[in-house]
Amino acid sequence: MKLLRPFALLLVCALFAVIRPVLGGELTLTETDDQIRITLRGKPVLEYIKTEKPVPAGIEPYYRRSGYIHPVYTPTGQEITGDFPADHAHQHALYFAWTKAKFDGKEVDFWNQAKDLGRVEFREVVNLKRDERQVSFSVKHAFTVGTGDKRVDALHEIWTVTVYQTPEDHFLFDIESVQECASSKPLNLPQYHYGGMAFRGNYQWLKEKDDHSIHPGDLQIVTSEGKDRWEGNETRPNWVAFSGKIDGQEVSAAVFCSPKNFRAPQPVRIHPNKPYFCFAPMIEGPFTISPGEKYTSRYRYLVTSHRLNADSIEAFWKEYSASP
């Protein structure tokens, strides 16, 4: 057997460190230095951002962020999520951030990046896993406060993202977030009208302010209670669904809030003209993430390349809500 020279051996080891495929049936998970990418039958499902992306032209550099998912793809290849939108550059596709908060006696904000009062960042990959019909990865995030070299960790968060093998007409994946205090100091969350687990849609779905018209292909939002984007704000649905056209293709996405979540069904902030919403439990009142406790949130995402009706979504919800 021919032995590799030291330089060649180092090169091979480096390549394996950069690209790590994890297979699960027809699902493939590939990790690089910058991202984790999952495909199903060769089609992209989602990408997780490990390394901050360069900001688009005209966007301030403080809007850079790691530790979120973008793009989320439809089965026909459209990007259903949006990142660095010109109207709200701090909204990053699928992301978790608290808005109005207090740590160590000071006001902090992990959502509005321009304030520079708090940040959320990727720290490390905790686990990659394959099963017969699913693949998953777990990653660690830090919620940091302070300025410059004096930043400290307020929260540590573990995301576990699980993508399931599904028929060709839809993608299905879960996100579980487990947050814990990084020190002996709690994070206090006053009552506020937004913050939490968020979804920002494709820029093509943005409407002008106060435009309530619905044209063919426009984004439409409906909740499990049958409410639209104007009536559904600050209600407590089991799920929120988006539908409309992207690049001429009809697509849909539904987001389910686990019945096991804190204050489930959690209140939602649905924006009247931007393709964005979030599950925001602090709408119901203040709460605290205390040292030694875990704050766990679970959500499921259903993505299709056709328009979903409420009955179809409800069937997926019943399966999800009954799962252990």
Q: Domain limits at 83?
A: 19-201+267-298
**Count of domains observed in the chain:** 1
Q: How far is CA 20 from CA 13, 16, 31, 45, 146, in A?
A: 11, 6, 5, 17, 35
Say yes or no to pLDDT of 159 above 90.
Answer: yes
pTM recorded for the entire structure: 0.91
User: Between vectors from CA 202 to CA 196 and to CA 208, what angle results, nearest 5°?
Assistant: 90
Lowest mean pLDDT among 100-109, 212-221, 232-241, 293-302: 212-221
* Residue 49 pLDDT level (bands cut at 50, 70, 90): very high
What is the residue type of 111? Answer: W
pLDDT of 24 reads 60
> What mean pLDDT comes out for the span 104-115?
96
Q: What is the DSSP letter of 183?
A: S
* Residue 217 pLDDT level (bands cut at 50, 70, 90): confident
The number of beta carbons lying within 10 Å of the beta carbon of residue 18 is: 12
> What mean pLDDT comes out for the span 89-101?
97
Q: Is 138 contained in some domain?
A: yes
> What mean pLDDT comes out for the span 119-146?
96
DSSP H helices in 157-223: none
| Residue 176 parent element (H or E) | strand 170-181
* Residue 214 pLDDT level (bands cut at 50, 70, 90): confident
In DSSP notation, 105-153 reads TEEE-SS-GGG-SEEEEEEEEEEEEEETTEEEEEEEEEEEESSGGG-EE
Say yes or no to pLDDT of 48 above 80.
Answer: yes
Say yes or no to pLDDT of 13 above 90.
Answer: no
Name the phi and psi angles at 63, rounded to 5. Answer: -85, 0
Q: Which residues pair with 158 in a beta bridge?
A: 140, 178
> What mean pLDDT comes out for the span 212-218?
83
- The predicted-structure confidence for 111-127, as pLDDT tens digits, reads as follows 999 999 999 999 999 99
In total, the chain counts a number of residues equal to: 324
pLDDT of 225 reads 98
Q: Is 262 contained in some domain?
A: no
pLDDT of 324 reads 80
pLDDT of 211 reads 79
Instruction: Take residue 298 and report the two structure tokens written for it.
Output: 């679970």
Say yes or no to pLDDT of 10 above 70.
Answer: no
> What mean pLDDT comes out for the span 200-227?
89
Name the phi and psi angles at 312, rounded to 5. Answer: -65, -45
Q: Is 79 contained in some domain?
A: yes
Q: Is 183 contained in some domain?
A: yes
Q: Is 305 contained in some domain?
A: no
Pairing of strands 249-257, 239-246: antiparallel
* Residue 222 pLDDT level (bands cut at 50, 70, 90): very high
- The predicted-structure confidence for 14-38, as pLDDT tens digits, reads as follows 434 445 577 666 999 999 999 999 9
Say yes or no to pLDDT of 207 above 90.
Answer: no
> What mean pLDDT comes out for the span 249-273?
97
Q: Is 282 contained in some domain?
A: yes
Q: Is 224 contained in some domain?
A: no
pLDDT of 12 reads 39
Q: Is 323 contained in some domain?
A: no
